[in-house]
Amino acid sequence: MSAERRTATIVGGGVIGGGWAARFLLNGWNVRVFDPDPEAERKIGEIIDNARRALPGLYDRALPDEGALTFFDDMAEAVAGVDWVQESVPEQLALKHKVLGALSQLAPRGAVIGSSTSGFKPSELNAEGARAIVAHPFNPVYLLPLVELVGTPERTGPAAEVLRSIGMFPLILRKEIDAHIADRLLEAVWRESLWLVKDGVATTEEIDEAIRMAFGIRWAQMGLFETYRIAGGEAGMKHFMAQFGPALSWPWTKLMDVPEFTPELVDLIAGQSDAQSGHLSIRQLERLRDDNIVGMLRALKRSGSGAGGVLTSHEAALDQAGSKDGLPITAQRQVPSSWTDYNGHMNETHYLEAASLATDRLMEMVGAGPEYIASGRSYFTVESHIRYMDEVRAGEQITVTTQVLKGEGKKMHLFHRLWRADGALAATIEVLLLHTDLATRRSSLPDQPVAEALAALAEKHAEMDSCGAGRFVGERRSGE
> Looking only at residues 32 through 61 of this chain, which bind ligand NAI when binding is defined by CB under 6 A?
34-37, 40
Query: Residue 183 Cβ, how far from ligand L46V6VHR at the closest point, in Å?
Result: 5
Beta bridge partners of 419: 399, 425
Q: Cβ distance 83 to 8 under 8 Å?
A: yes
Cα–Cα distance, 420 to 351 (Å, whole number) = 12
> Which residues lie below 8 Å from residue 58, measured CB to CB, with a gap of 6+?
143, 294, 297, 298, 301, 311, 336
Q: Which of 406, 412, 353 is nearest to 381 (CA)?
A: 412
Number of residues in contact with ligand NAI, rule: CB under 6 A? 23
If contact means CB under 5 to 8 A according to the sort of partner, which of ligand L46V6VHR, ligand NAI, none does residue 40 touch? ligand NAI
Cβ nearer to ligand L46V6VHR, comparing 80 with 182: 182
CB 427 within 8 A of CB 388: yes
Does the annotation flag 12 for ligand binding?
yes
Interface map 106-135 toward ligand NAI (x if CB under 6 A): ----------xxx-----------------
Q: Assess contact for 308 and 297: CB atoms under 8 A.
A: yes
Candidate residues 139, 165, 397, 443; the one interacting with ligand L46V6VHR per rule CB under 6 A: 139
| CA pair distance 51, 57, nearest whole angstrom | 10
Residue 138 sits in the site that holds ligand L46V6VHR (CB under 6 A) = yes
Q: For the CB of residue 10, give the shortest distance to ligand NAI in the complex, in Å.
A: 9
Contacting ligand L46V6VHR within 183-212 (CB under 6 A): 183, 186
83 binds, among ligand NAI, ligand L46V6VHR, none (CB under 5 to 8 A by kind): none
Could you count the other beta carbons within 10 Å of the beta carbon of residue 257? Answer: 8
Q: Shortest distance, CB of residue 282 to ligand L46V6VHR, whole angstroms?
A: 15
Residue 14 annotated as lining a ligand binding site = yes
Q: Which of 65, 74, 91, 264 binds ligand NAI (CB under 6 A)?
A: 91
Under 8 Å CB-to-CB from 208, ≥6 apart: which residues?
A: 276
Among 9, 88, 126, 403, contact with ligand NAI (rule: CB under 6 A): 88
Do the Cβ atoms of 338 and 53 come closer than 8 Å?
A: no
Which segment (7-15, 188-196, 240-248, 315-323) binds ligand NAI by CB under 6 A?
A: 7-15
- For ligand NAI, give the closer residue by CB, 216 or 370: 216
Shortest Å distance, C-beta 164 to ligand NAI: 19
Is there a binding annotation on residue 15? yes
Q: Is 479 annotated as a binding residue?
A: no
Q: Within 314-353, which residues bind ligand NAI (CB under 6 A)?
A: none
Residue 186 binds: one of ligand L46V6VHR, ligand NAI, none (C-beta under 5 to 8 A by kind): ligand L46V6VHR
What residues between 99 and 128 interact with ligand L46V6VHR by CB under 6 A? 118
Check whether 16 is labelled as a binding-site residue: yes
Task: Check residue 90 for interaction with ligand NAI (CB under 6 A).
Answer: yes
Q: Which residue is nearest to ligand NAI (CB)?
A: 14
Residue 110 binding partner per list ligand NAI, ligand L46V6VHR, none, with a CB distance cut-off of 5 to 8 Å that depends on partner kind: none
- Comparing CB distances to ligand L46V6VHR, the nearer of 28 and 137 is 137
Q: Which of 7, 8, 9, 11 binds ligand NAI (CB under 6 A)?
A: 11
Q: For strand 397-408 and strand 327-334, is the pairing parallel, antiparallel, or unpaired? A: antiparallel
Annotated binding site for NAD(+): 12-17
Annotated binding site: 12-17
Interacting residues toward ligand NAI by CB under 6 A: 11-17, 34-37, 40, 88-91, 99, 116-118, 136-137, 139
Interacting residues toward ligand L46V6VHR by CB under 6 A: 118, 138-139, 183, 186
